[in-house]
Structure 1
Amino acid sequence: MAVLLDIQDLHFQYPGASQHVLSGVNVTIEEGEFVALAGRNGSGKSTLARILNGQLHSSSGSILLGGEALTPTNKQAQRRRIGYVFQNPDHQFIGATVWDDLAFGLENHSVHRETMIQRMNYYVRLLRLEDLLHKAPHQLSGGQKQRVGLAGILVLKPDIIILDEATSMLDPKGRHEVMLALKEISNQGITILMITHDMEEVLEADRFIVMHQGSIVADNVPHAVFDDGPLLETTGLKRPFVVELQQELSKAGITFEQDCHSEKELIDHLCKYNFQV
């Protein structure tokens, strides 16, 4: 796959601060990847997201999106290629109904009506929003609001979607709905950068990037990162329950050919293991 996002030696320091928030960040993300980004509060992950979204400007370093540099002079055109999902879904709504909200961005971009309706219908089906189209935003649950927010971004055809703690304000049902939607989106080949504190969510990603004190200290598949005890101790991250249980089972001699990414997968593997024994 081709490199979509290329971040090189990125630094950032808030005015009046004595230290950099970002110190030499280097990372590349390929087209179609689903990447999780985590770290303690103050590690720099949200600052990085705001720089990518154009809310902040880096002190030094470079960002290439599809081979083109993100600069203050071209940021408006380039940032249209980056979809940003807010932590609070209410901050994204503009239209009086779900349908109106999905149409708003397309109308602003002067998309032809026939194309607009085709796109809207496609993502409505993909994210299972058919029963919500004529509802007002205040009538929706938190999970429904975030799914609508995702659809409102997807209809604009961005190259990458950035989610900044997009499930942190949701209940377990709402989180589950959003994670299912993200898997559907990822399966369509859309690039996702998900900033999260939830280690269970990290298991759904292809890659897990960990930030600590403004730098990237790990970049690997999730299970490989969770196997690194000293790294977890340094960064303050905890293993998901599914990973901890797998590790304990492995110590007892019960191993599987593939890593489990959910409790359901673990139960399925255990059932097969017991059946074979």
Structure 2
Amino acid sequence: MSRLSSDSEIIVEMKEVVVQKNGKKILGPITLNIHKGEYIGIIGRNGSGKTTLLQSMAGITRINKGHISSCETGYVFQNPDNQIIGSTVFEDIKFSVMNLDMSPEKENNYVEIILKEHSLYSLKDRDTLTLSGGQKQKLSLVSVVAMKPDLLLLDEPFSMLDRIQRYDMQRFINSLNARSISLVVAGIKLYDLINCNRIVLLEKGEIIFDGTKEEISNNNELFKKCCISVPEYFR
């Protein structure tokens, strides 16, 4: 998958963004544009600034310097237990759509449609506390998708999944992008981001690589210095 044309609509624009904590810089300066329809992977070791970058885009983290112009975003936390609040799968998704200005009847019908579209209907009455890790990750993502954001921000959605669950999550995320949903996905392993059309490498809060998968092969040593293994199919 090639990188989208620079002529496509810009939905997020970050200019010289800096985030500080206790007077210490933890992100930036970051200058980054995201175009409509892109599927971007943010890669970096733990502590490199991935979560801070995504939360800055979402407006969760306050920036100290610079400027961000952003579309409507939906943020999916790394740990789904920090996001799931409904006692059942149905109730959790219903809670997320309460601000869509629908009548109670339309709300219920819409939640039913979402459950069927994303293969969660069989779980609709399940207690969320009894869901597996993979089911919780998917529910937290679908609950955000139901809110119809222009951009989805996923903070390490693979971190709590086993190999089979990772594959299922990749397929699900790919299906969202196939529907023209724009995505930014943070991760620590490149093979989780194989379907991205653009990879951004963070190190010590700064962008040190921004390019296509095809361009990674020419920067193998750069990734190695950041403790990021480059799989054979990226070379």
State the TM-score, normalizing by the size of structure 1: 0.76
**1:150 & 1:207 partners in 2: Cα distance?**
21
Relative contact order (alpha carbons < 8 A, sep ≥ 6): 1 or 2 greater?
2
**1:121 & 1:240 partners in 2: Cα distance?**
40
- Pick from 28, 39, 54 the counterpart of residue 33 of structure 2: 28
Shift of 1:108: 4.5
Shift of 1:122: 3.6
**1:35 & 1:23 partners in 2: Cα distance?**
18
Question: In structure 1, what is the equivalent of residue 149 of structure 2?
Answer: 158
Q: Percent identity?
A: 28
**1:106 & 1:232 partners in 2: Cα distance?**
40
Question: In structure 2, what is the equivalent of residue 211 of structure 1?
Answer: 202
Shift of 1:61: 0.5
Equivalent positions of 1:149-228 (< 5 A) are 149-228=140-219
Question: In structure 1, what is the equivalent of residue 15 of structure 2?
Answer: 8
Residues 203-230 of structure 1, C-alpha deviation per residue, up to 9 Å, x if partnerless?
1111111112221111111232243123
Residues 26-62 of structure 1, C-alpha deviation per residue, up to 9 Å, x if partnerless?
1111111111001122322211122223332111111
Equivalent positions of 1:128-139 (< 5 A) are 128-139=119-130
**2:38 & 2:56 partners in 1: Cα distance?**
20
Q: Contact 1:226/1:232 (CA < 8 Å) preserved in 2? A: no
**1:119 & 1:222 partners in 2: Cα distance?**
37
Q: Contact 2:94/2:107 (CA < 8 Å) preserved in 1? A: yes
Structure number with greater Rg is: 1
1:36 aligned partner, one-letter code: G
Q: Secondary structure at the match of 2:97?
A: helix
Q: Contact 1:219/1:225 (CA < 8 Å) preserved in 2? A: no
Detail structure 1 runs of 4+ shifted over 3 Å in the superposition.
Answer: none
Residues 175-198 of structure 1, C-alpha deviation per residue, up to 9 Å, x if partnerless?
222211101111111111100012
Q: Secondary structure at the match of 2:21?
A: coil
Q: How many residues align?
A: 228
Q: Contact 2:189/2:228 (CA < 8 Å) preserved in 1? A: no
Q: Structure 1 or 2: larger strand share?
A: 2
Structure 2 residue runs of 5 or longer lacking an equivalent are 1-7
> Is 2:97 the counterpart of 1:92?
no
1:150 aligned partner, one-letter code: L
- Pick from 48, 57, 66 the counterpart of residue 61 of structure 1: 66
State the TM-score, normalizing by the size of structure 2: 0.89
Shift of 1:126: 3.0
Shift of 1:241: 4.4
Question: In structure 1, what is the equivalent of residue 132 of structure 2?
Answer: 141
